[in-house]
Every structure is written in C-alpha cells, then in structure tokens.
Structure 1
C-alpha cells in the first residue's frame, strides 16, 4: 500500500505525463534518500543556494543558476529580476513596478495556460505583459515594433501547449533582443536538453525540476551570472512566499547529478505503447496509433481515437469513467473535445499499460451492453 492509499486516497495510474496535477515525477531511490536525509538535518540556506547554483551551472553550461520551487516560480522570479536588477529597495517593492522598465514582450500564441497562465506569472513578478502578433501568426516586425524604452525583456515559451506554427523562432527573437540589448528569457519548463538554449545564447532559461529531470517538486533557472545573483536575491522579495526548502534543493542537486547517466528509452516507449495498441486493436470504436510529442521531444505516446457511435461512449465519457475509478487512471486529454485521448508511457510503472487496456475494454463493454 502506498503512503497516499494509507491516507485513504485513491491509487492513481498516471498515463498523462509529468503533470503537476498528478505530482509530476516519481523520483529515484537516490533522490528520495537525499530528500530524507536533508529533511532530518540543518544547513546554511544561503550557502546551499549558492552551491546549488554552481551545480546547475555545471550541468547546464551556464555561468550560474538559481533553484526554485517550480518553473512557474522561475518565471515570476526571473521577471522580477530583469525589472529590479540588484536594487534591494526595488526587490522589496515588487510586484509594484509602476514607473519602471517593466514590459515583457511575448508572442501571442505562447501566452498559454499550463494550470495557470504565463501572463499571470509574469504579472506576479511585476511585469506588464505585451502580446505581439496573432495567435497563429507573428512577424519579426511585430516584435521589433513592440519594443519601447519600457521593455524589460523578450520572453519565449518552448512548450507543447504553445502554438507550434506561425510563431517566430527562438533564433529570430534572440537576435532582436541582442540588437536592442534586452535580456532574452526562455521558459523551457518540460524540455529535456538542459544545455541547448544556453549554447544558443539565451540570457536566462527556466526549467522544471519535476518533469524531464525527474527530481522533486522544484525548478531551476540558469544563465548569465549577473542575472542569477539577482534571481537568488529575489528571495528577499517576491521569492519569499515561493521559496524552495532544503529538502527540495537536495533532491534537485541529486537529480541533476544523475541526469547525464539517464538512458534514452524511446525504443522502450514505442514497444510498450505498441503492445497497448495491439491490446485495443479489436475494440469496436477505437483506433490506436503511436505519435511523437507535438513539440518534437523524444516522447512516443499511444493516441486513442474514440468513435462514439461505435464505441458506445464518447472520449469524454470514457475519460470520466477512468478518472473516477479506483485505481483512478488519468490519460492525456488535450484533444478530448475532438475524440482523442493519449497514453504517455514515461510515468507508467511496470505492467500498468495492461491495466489501462483491460479497464478501457471493461468500461466500453459495459457501455455497449447498456
């Protein structure tokens, strides 16, 4: 029995992904042990934060880093940093940035909702959101023409949630930022390559510690040393209510040190999802195929298309039955409104794809008999 079941909570099978709403990742034994030991000991927090910055720098190729309690906190802290600089009075004033250089330019198709909105996180940090272009089309001129003497940074969101067509690429936006001597920030929360954007020349990059890294609930910022020092200083300001504890930092550091040794398991993902599709191939009303992640990451999911007339239930009805059962089975449901569900193999424990297939069969059999 899991600790959550001992609390009286339902068992969860997470086939949705590294989702915050489901607890993000299940950590390794080494990370769990680091969290346990840290929780039972003491440390100088400032010294720990600086050390964590060095570790983040080592594994990202950046000059320095700053641990956070999550990527969303990373957005707020980063935005506050480019507005306040190293000025403690301004740091203590945030998010009130009236009269300061506080405009954050973002492409309209990247102003997304991830559980909260990107715009709200920017505002929490004192930023004024300036959307440019349209949801499916942004020209370089839109970005150039939005720059004023109030522009504090250009902000790019690398996410499967964002519109993938019609946006200006990172390279273009980065060049515009450099030409105007404006900080360029990338929110790469769920990305797997922790060095890519630093190598490209980004000033500041934000990651989740609980997604691709498979660390505890945490996040980290990496980039130019001057900005990372200011980011850490935000813990005297808006960072205070979103501070990360010693346990989270210890787990984050341990996960970062393990990350280079993680093996690419794309073949295993495809194999497991192929077996799932084979188990569902004769179920009336279902079509199951393997699809790569929309943002181009090495993630291969089983996509289940539900024909409600043949299956006896809509995708929404099937999803509801799965989520309200015990165990509760959570599938990826970004396209449930058009009859598509998906199974993400990364968070699945051994054999859980078989439970998912048998449960789907059982539910649809019931629906077709009623």
Structure 2
C-alpha cells in the first residue's frame, strides 16, 4: 500500500540539521498525535480553547498569561500589534496602519535577521516601523537610548543563533533601557529551551516556537502579563485572523507543553563524541564536538571539510547529501564547516547518515586514486 509520502513524491528526510521549519519542525510523539486526534473529533468554542491554552502556557513559563499562535514568526507580529493597537478595536482593524499611535520598534542592527523571512517584515505586519540602531557588529545601550522618541512602541531583542553574537547590547541592558524610558521589551526566543528563564529577565512579552524545542506541532506562543496577553488575543479580530490556530494544533501544543522536559536527554555530548570519532576516519574530514553558539544546552559534531582530500567543498558535500535526502546543518558551509545536530536523529537515521557520508567520501578517495594513476591527456599510466 502506498503512503502519502510516496503518492505526493515527498519522501521522509533524514534531519541532522536541527528543529528546522524547512524540514517540518519536530517529529511528534505518540502522545501529541493522540491529543491532536482528540481535538479533531469534536467542535469546541475557540475563544474558550484559546484562553485555556493560554493558561497552560502561563503555567509552563511562570507568567501571568499566554497567547497561542501559529508560530514564533506570527508571535512577533502579534506582539508588536498588541503594543501598537492594544485592545482598541478601531485601531486593531486599521492595522497594519498604526495611525497616530506610537509604532517604532527599536532593535539592534545585528538582530535584524532573516530566518526564512525578514524580521523587519513581521514588525511591519503588526503595524510597527522597525528602527535599526548601531552597526552590524557593534550596538551599545546608548544606541538604544538615543533612538527612543515619542513614537517608540517597543524594544525588540532577538535571542537566536541567527543574530550577531559579538559586540551586541545584552538583554539585561536592553531591559534597563526599557525600564528607564517606560518602553516594553519583546524577546524573540523562538528556539530556546528554558521556557521559564526568559520571562524572569524582566522582558514584557516573550515569544517561543511550539514546534521546535517544545516538540509540539507547528505552532507558537507569547507569554507575559495578563494585560499584554489580552491585547495579543484581541489581534485575532485583525491581523492575526489569517494566522489563526486550529483546535487540533492547540490540543497538540498543550500535550507537548505538559510533557516538555520530562525526558530531557541533555546536550547529547557523549553521543556526539562517539559520532565525531567515527566520522574522523573519513577522508577529508576533521571533527570535533562544539557547543551551541547561542548558549543552549546542545552539542553538535562539527565536520571541517578539506576540499582537496574530500573531493568537494563543504557546500558541495551538503548538496550531495541533500540530494540523497540527508540534511546537515550548513549555516557555515562557506567557511568549510558542516554540523550534525543530534536532536532530530534517531539511531537508525544516524547510521544512514554515516553510511551516506562513507559512500560519498570513500568513493571519492577511490576516484582520486584512479586519477593519480593516469598520465597526461587522461591516459592510463601503463600506456605511456
């Protein structure tokens, strides 16, 4: 019997890249799938389910209230809209036109990232006008303070590996500036794993993905004060309407939140050390285990690719693997480095990854030996 994967011509991928939107986020647990199935079998008053899910978000994050979303990206747009329009229905319905309301959202230039879409566009969808300050590799507290004016609605801080890590103003400094000037701070912590930490920093609204570290369906959430969350939910009468969350997703998100952290495997350091030792034997590959650049408790195997010995550079190796349905973390391919993220990989998939790499690189080694045996004009050495 054909599966839908086969019928659609979209085979399952081996994901060694991470909890990536481009690869479908997370593989769901049976408990989450069961919860989504329960949600699919009945009608429900959606306003009540949104509020109930918000209470679950609040419990897990240690905040007053929460607002579920379709993802962290929509969460940023909704958070901005909540601070621009509040609960004023006329303003909500006018967005993304903010009218005369304060609408400037100040962010460090090194945080003006693109993670599949530019964060500037998400701010604009919520009625905000992005104001980048400082330089790509240098932003200070004074840059933030100097940009605040009568039309400032929020400060935005992006906690992500996509953001520049060097020379950036800290979150603590950002919150200090917000407190000094009475400006709320939004933290985009989409893929972060410690759901209670970021609200304790003093941030007013924190945005998470529900489909990445949490292991839920494609979804997201905002958490913070009851006042701000009421304003976030109010945006479902405006710009959030095309971002509405289905009942099945909400049931799955709640189940994932209830199960989150129960069986946390930690940073996978030992597992990645063993994988690094195996892959180091391949031609053209030097390995080591590295920590997550954004500070999360994640360890990955780094593959430094020597083009001469491997027969291709890192980007080409990543492309060849992708053609076989195997996806490595290739953010730094231009510098000759690829990474294996252990979180989405089950043991069978890890073996398939090793097998594909071995076939490609050992095959290149044999090809290089044949080439070295040839004389000028491509003739075999024995024909000279």
Q: Shorter-chain TM-score: what band?
A: over 0.9
Q: Mean Cα displacement is larger for which, 5-14 or 110-119?
A: 5-14
Partner of 1:214: 215
The CA distance in 2 between the partners of 1:72 and 1:2, in whole Å, is 31
Q: Mean Cα displacement is larger for which, 185-194 or 2-11?
A: 2-11
TM-score, normalized by length of structure 2? Answer: 0.93
User: Where in structure 2 are the equivalents of 1:248-267 lying within 5 Å?
Assistant: 248-266=249-267
Partner of 1:276: 275
- Flag structure 2 segments of 5+ consecutive residues without an equivalent: 369-384
Cα contact 2:279–2:287 (8 A) shared by 1: yes
Q: Secondary structure at the match of 1:228?
A: helix
Partner of 2:292: 293
Partner of 2:178: 177
Q: Deviations over 1:63-89 (max 9, x none)?
A: 100000000000000000100011001
In the TM superposition, structure 1's runs of 4+ consecutive aligned residues that sit over 3 Å from their partners are none
- The alignment covers a number of residue pairs equal to 366
Q: Highest Rg: 1 or 2?
A: 2
Cα contact 1:276–1:302 (8 A) shared by 2: yes
User: Where in structure 2 are the equivalents of 1:1-370 lying within 5 Å?
Assistant: 3-266=4-267, 269-325=268-324, 328-368=325-365, 369=367
The CA distance in 2 between the partners of 1:110 and 1:25, in whole Å, is 25
Shift of 1:261: 1.6
The CA distance in 1 between the partners of 2:265 and 2:305, in whole Å, is 31
Partner of 2:376: none
Compared CA separation, residues 2 and 343, structure 1 to 2 (3 A)? farther
- Flag structure 1 segments of 5+ consecutive residues without an equivalent: none
Q: Secondary structure at the match of 1:238?
A: coil
Cα contact 2:282–2:362 (8 A) shared by 1: no
TM-score, normalized by length of structure 1? Answer: 0.96
**Root-mean-square deviation over aligned CA pairs:** 1.3
Q: Secondary structure at the match of 2:344?
A: coil
The CA distance in 2 between the partners of 1:50 and 1:65, in whole Å, is 8
Q: Deviations over 1:130-171 (max 9, x none)?
A: 001101111111100100000000110000111111111111
Q: Deviations over 1:202-235 (max 9, x none)?
A: 1100000011100010000000111100100100
The CA distance in 1 between the partners of 2:216 and 2:245, in whole Å, is 13
Shift of 1:6: 4.9
